[in-house]
Structure 1
Amino acid sequence: MTYPNSNWYGILHVVNTNTNFVVENIDYNIQKGGQPFYANTNVNTLTFKGKNNFKAGTSNGGYDGEFAQGFTSINFAEDSQTTIYHDAYNELAFLYAGGSQTVTVGKNAIVDITTNKPYLSYDGNFTLKVLEKGQFKYKAISGNNSSTTSKAVLFKALGTITMEFAKDAIGRFTTEKDGFSGESPTINATSPNYILFDSPSGKSALNGATLKFSRKDTDGYAYPIKYFSSGFKELSPNVTGNKNVVASDISNGESVVYARAPKITGMSADPMVGTDLSQIRVQINQWTPENLVNISKVSYKLGTKRLYSGTDITAAAAQTSITNAFPSQGLWAQKDIWATNNIATDSIYQFENLSAQTYYLYTKLEGACVPGYTLSSLWIEQIVEVPSYIEVTLPDVLEFRTPKAGKIVKEQHLTNYSAINHGNVPVNLALKTLTIKSNSSPVVSLVSNCQGKKQVHLKLVAEHPSGNDNRILDPLLAGTITGQPIALTPYWDNDREATLYLKGEHSVSVLDGGPHQINYNLAFSISQAS
């Protein structure tokens, strides 16, 4: 219900001390007279429960001072939701206590304040406590009913201001007027979600106030300070103690945020080897925040050695070294993936055609965790061993036919014959022995040089597609054979295979009877090349 007029005392006028007043599920809309809660003594408590909505002061002048006066404790109860729009003509502060004051935002509570007052709080020492998963949002506007033309926005007129943000808490302080000035807040942060100061009007978010951040947790997350000034920039990659921020630190930027960066909490990197297969399959399985919005960026880097020095990968120097790594420093491959549907499924990637060795996998996750900002996790490291896999296929036969005495050439073979490496390591294919099979013609002799009738001189030729490192094993004689091995590179390389054929000459003519069949068995050894 909307009432056109009220007075200074609004909903409540307290004249006694130690009053504890509870407001629950109130919808308050006053067009004139914007001070819902008034106490002319200081030691009183005001508590908000349930869902409350206040809209106060939309007509110029009259009975409209602070939102609440004379309450040293203001509590927003657990799970409550309170929205306050306070555009009032008289007085300078949103809150006035007459002494020290504590405002507590309970667990899971949401407080959203919009006011035209220059001061959040006027006198005394002011403490803001935002408990676990609580949210406190404060916006300073010019409004329609200001008694001053000043565009200043100050946290305090007199006394100190301390802010405490607990685990997963959110704080947002927005000014549509000048940047925040006045007494500088000490901001004690114990694993909050984020604490943001911004100016959508394009002005500097800070105008004299110093933000005194003090990190109180050791939760293992990175808490960078980022800001916007002609683009998004970083002031500190990870606050580990105390950090003061003034306007010049952020180039008079329009916003600055202290925020918990995303963190990868579950990661898989599985090597797989087999026939024409040698890869590492990578995937992010778990991350925080779990509700990280889609359109997140997953970055992978794979190194053949560690991409940083020292023992602490979380150190700024180590993180920078990984980010800036070049192939000359051990970077083997890198891949960026945009997760547009689900991080767990979209982050799957295979690094393929990997030699057998130790690899160092680095992974980073970026996402929009804070309004207007993209934050990045720290690089994490996993060491992955890709094992050796050896598999070579050889032809069953090398068969040729020659109708008359003379040369034996490649074109006389019945088909093309190849030795092929299907493994992930280079191998040496060494011919060890030749034996004459029982069904080979006894009248034909295997010799090193044809000088008489019914003789065969053979040599084994191995030719690579590149034409490099070809082999000729000459002569082929019964017994043990020595000579340079045939080299085959891993399966992804052109010289993974070698065409095999026999060449030479023979002195078997049609006058010698026949046809004659010669049949020899070649035994090879296969070993990993060093």
Structure 2
Amino acid sequence: MIKKILLPFIIVYCFVLPPPMYASESSTVVSSDSALSSGENSSEDSTSEAPSLSSDSKVLEEATTDSSSSTDSTSISTSDNSAEEVGTENTINIAADVFQNGTTTYPYLVSTSAELKAAINQAKPTSDATGNITKNDPLTIKFLTDITYTSSDAFIISKNTVIDGDNHSLLYTSASYGTSSLLQVNTGGVSATIKNMNYGNSTYPNNTYYGIISTGASNVSVNIENVTYNITNGAQPFYADKGKSNNTLNFSGVNTFNQSVDASGSYGGEFVEGYSTINFAANSTTTVKNNSGDAWADFWPSSSMTINLGDNATFDMTSGKPYVFYGTNNNIFNIGENAKLAIRKSYASRTGSINQINDNSSRTTTMNVASGGSADITTGIKPLDLGTFNVNATDSGTVNFAKTGSNFANQAFSSGTLKFTNAGTNVYQVLSTSTSNTNSSSIVTPPNSLTASLTNQNIISYQPAMSISGVSGSSNVGDKKSQITASVSGFSSSLPSGWVYQTEYLVSKKRYYNSANNILDQSGLTTDFKSSTKPSGVKTVAASGSGGVGTINDLLAMNYYVYGRVTATSGSNIASTPWYETQVDVPKHTATVFSNSLGFTSPGSKILNDATDYRIVSYSNTPTAISLTRVTTGDGSDESIQLVDSFSVGSENLLTLNVLAKLSNSNTIWSLANPTGTLILQPYFETDSSAALSLTGAYAGHFNHIKNVNYLLDFTIQNSS
């Protein structure tokens, strides 16, 4: 609107804010810091009546031989009764209110050995309660209570079958320890699973040395999950006919096998006989203590044996057997990432001088160890004959061969050769400790090999040439400061002089973790650290030296995963410790700075700003939401002037006055007459962490003398994240 100027005076209007100040979350002018911080199985209950199985089920005829004296060879003669899979004499009477069809969802529920036999003889399920096809489902059976059986019981598994003990026990009540197993698989290609089952208690501590399940066919898979085995007499958990081939034994979950631990039992045997492949699933733990006094070895395969440990699996065996392997050709251990193998020759169950890896010392044992995997082969009985033992390690953990205890005075090794091959990328050492406690170290750079001297040695250990024990970090926040300071601990190195060290750190919003295998993603960390283009939410820094402190700046307030390692270089050789992990919380810090004052003049109806450098700036480490919540009239302000959102032609003493906050791609306008709207400022280290301020508006009224206005503004500042 055009206003007539009656007097030749410049009309000046002033708009004043308080002096420079910081604004907090709750009021106008405070800077506030947040507190600094650093950083199963379910049982299926059934109240229904247990199923009733027919009492006239046909007895399965088995031809077995029970010797009167213990031998090192176990054999079994069985007949294939698969034809009895379905028959009128093997029916199950199901309780009317309990649907059971042998599927995974609706397993057959059993309480006696007769019911167990009848259930095993049922046909494989073809549909569930709703008619859905279940062709791939195994026949599934579930225990309702502990079940006992005798030497006259023998049940044939002829189809894929799962027997779930539901944490109950399957107990052998007879005194014949050389009879056939209760459960027998004599059909090739069958998969049989035993899970959540216990064997042996104080009343019934015995079993048969044909195992908890025996195999008389080829290409059979036996699966063991969460099984506890405590047996005194007849202590051999697993048997397969050595005349058959390609049988596989798989372990998952947590399993414990105690074989005549007090050495009082008879008819003891191997831990595993007859299988060619043993798999320990990722994240599984299997513990074996075999102190039975009969068989000569822990493993007696049909030919060569391959033992595979999945990532993060643990297999820990304590034994007093003269041999680890018996009657075999060459054998292989494959140890996955972060998996742990331990073979402890600790029990003196047999006398004499025999203590060997293989019964024939000319045979070869190969151990392949993946990143972070480890092995510990120790003897506390007598010196150990390694035979030919080759270790191929790909950035592994420690692979250790050692004497333990003081049961014998001489060296740990009686004979054999021990060769280490560095198949990875890092530099390793072979550390030896002699019988006189003298240490020596030899560096093994990739892809080279080293054959260790066994003479007069008590410990030979293949391990990284340098190591750390962990990483730690703390946060520090303030005005325009938001950082994590990290350091590593426990550094040690056997590298010779001339190597150059640096400490490397990576900070990430996400965790570098392989949840399936429960291990850190070492390769992912290394790749992203070296990459010139970092993934979103990842920052890195390198500090000189083996204990360099790293500071990562300009971090958004949140919890971070912090990783650290040490890397050393010498020419083209590179050695790195594994990455270690910790967590650090970066707390929120909120601080906002406004311009000292905003002023304008209005020589006509249009408002002109007094300056162009008015700003509102975030010093926070988190996005902040800023709102104009109250406008009050200050001292000396002309009371005749009224703030309005708009006015019409001919109005008098009306003022529209707005604060415009301008970001790179958006604006926020607050009307002093009716303030609404929110300005979002980003953290101090990001774009749009500050906004340019200006005044807009117009005045309706006479211009014949000067009128002053003064308004005080209250802002609310809050974290917006």
Q: TM-score scaled to structure 1, two decimals?
A: 0.50
Q: TM-score scaled to structure 2, two decimals?
A: 0.37
Relative contact order (C-alpha < 8 Å, sep 6+): which is higher? Answer: 2
